[in-house]
Structure 1
Amino acid sequence: MEQRISFITLAVEDVARSRKFYVDGLGWKPMFENDEVIMLPAGEHLMLSLWSIESFTAEIGTAPARGVAPITLAHNCATEKEVDNVLALATSIGADVSPAIRREWGGYSGYFSDPDGFRWEIAVNPGPTGDYVLP
């Protein structure tokens, strides 16, 4: 299997609410959307899919667990000011935000959650930030 991820799919309670957050609030541009799903380009060859819980469950056959998912999604920024600006934007659209701080690992990061509780890390990362080339 080739080492890559093509889609990240999040099961959401309310697709319209997620659209308001990601498209209207954060300014992301959908590639495709209907009442059941919004597909948002999230990088080269990577799509973030926000899928209604009902359609998600019908597709995979099992309802997703509820509560805070034990994962984070990360968005790397070039500067600390950019991190602060993204977190301020998230605050302005009603996200639960943890302010950025300098981390032991050398970076600067904070977090926000989307309407379904999925946590986003917004960071300046001193290490690889997507420019890594697979051998």
Structure 2
Amino acid sequence: MNSTATPASMSLTLDVITLGTPEVEAARRFYSTTLSPTVADDDDSVHLDLHGTGRLTLSAAERLATGAEPATPGFRGYVLTYVVNQPTEVKTLMDAAVRGGAEVLKPAKKALFGSFSGVFRAPDGAIWKLAAATGKDTGPAAESPLPTETTLILGVSAPKASKAFYEALGMSVDRDYGSKYIDFHPAAGAARLCLMEGGVLARDAGTAKDGDGFPSMVLTHRAGSREEVDLLLSAAAAAGGRTTVAATRTTEGYSGFFTDPDGFWWQVTH
């Protein structure tokens, strides 16, 4: 993988996570009742503000990315993590997810190093991990738990190489545990991006690593200028990614798409 200097005006941030779903309205109901986000609709998509810790968009799967392969029915190579304050709040959210039709992959229970977590697969196929840093409640639990952080963990083939790729696009590493786990500082109001080896991530989520198609997800960076769009697309290609849709004028402005070395799709838009 070639390294490249990062211009001061270019820094990739995970501003929006768009999930493809076969039934947008059904997904809207599920996430609205489970996570209680602020919801805004337009003609094509549903936009969810995860209480200031990230933004999630629900869209018809076939609209996500031009030329992308069909969504895989198995493990899609990523896990969304919703971090709350206390174990009882993890249980509250897990119960709400199950009532909404989610499949429990790992029951909520005390995990390693004193944490507490559970994992479910949402009706749209996305896998979510609910987690608290402590194994015991330290005070009254919220009836409608709010997240302290939302993270997206990508299952990659080589975490160290993926780290170099994202650093070349201006991301700053926060915690680095070598091939086990790497994450980056999140921008204000945005989700945190994390990296784990794909097989390890699948096992941690309680599922088999049996999916190999398009993950039905597009990650969006909102650039400050057209120049930044062009810079990021060029930097991604130089660092080992691939420009999948060249930057062009759109009805909403100017945007293009790239994939990282593991095939995850990003849209850079202004």
- Normalised by the length of structure 2, the TM-score is 0.42
Q: Deviations over 1:81-121 (max 9, x none)?
A: 111111111122132102101113x2210011101100110
User: Is the contact between residue 72 and residue 119 of structure 1 (CA under 8 Å) also seen in structure 2?
Assistant: yes
> Over the residues paired in the alignment, what is the CA RMSD in angstroms?
1.6
User: Which position in structure 1 is the counterpart of 2:166?
Assistant: 22
* 1:48 is aligned to 2:193: yes
What is the total number of aligned residue pairs between the two structures? Answer: 122
Secondary structure (helix, strand or coil) at the match of 1:42 reads coil
Q: Which residue of 1 aligns with 2:217?
A: 71
2:248 pairs with 1:101: yes
> How many Å apart are 1:27 and its aligned residue?
3.1
Deviation of 1:26 after TM superposition, in Å, equals 1.8
Secondary structure of 1:48's partner? strand
Q: 1:89 aligns with which of 235, 242, 263?
A: 235
Against the structure 1 CA distance between its residues 82 and 19, is the aligned structure 2 distance closer, same or farther, given a 3 Å change threshold? same
Q: Secondary structure of 2:261's partner?
A: coil
Tell me which amino acid in the other structure corresponds to 1:73.
L
Q: SS where residue 186 of structure 2 aligns?
A: strand
Q: Which amino acid aligns with 2:185?
A: P
- Partners of 1:81 and 1:53 lie apart in 2 by 33
- Give me the whole-angstrom Cα distance separating, in 2, the residues matched to 1:93 and 1:66: 23
CA distance in structure 2 between the aligned counterparts of 1:27 and 1:84, rounded to whole angstroms: 14
Sort the Cα spacing of 1:94 and 1:57 in 2 relative to 1 into closer, same or farther, 3 A.
closer
Q: CA deviation at 1:41?
A: 2.0
Aligned counterparts of 1:107 and 1:91: Cα–Cα separation in 2:
22
Q: Which has the larger radius of gyration?
A: 2
Superposed CA deviations along residues 44-96 of structure 1, whole A, max 9, x for unmatched, are 25311111112212211113422332111000112111111111111221321
* TM score, norm. by length of structure 1: 0.81
Structure with the bigger RCO (C-alpha within 8 Å, sep 6+) is: 2
Give structure 1 stretches of 5+ with no counterpart: 125-135
Amino acid in the other structure paired with 2:163:
R
Please tell me whether the aligned partners of residues 53 and 63 of structure 1 are also in contact (alpha carbons under 8 angstroms): no
For 1:2 and 1:51, locate their aligned partners in 2 and report how far apart those are by CA, in whole Å.
Answer: 28
Q: Give 1:123 shift.
A: 0.4
**Structure 2 residues without counterparts, runs of 5 or longer:** 1-34, 38-49, 55-149
Q: Residue 221 of structure 2 aligns to which amino acid in structure 1? A: H
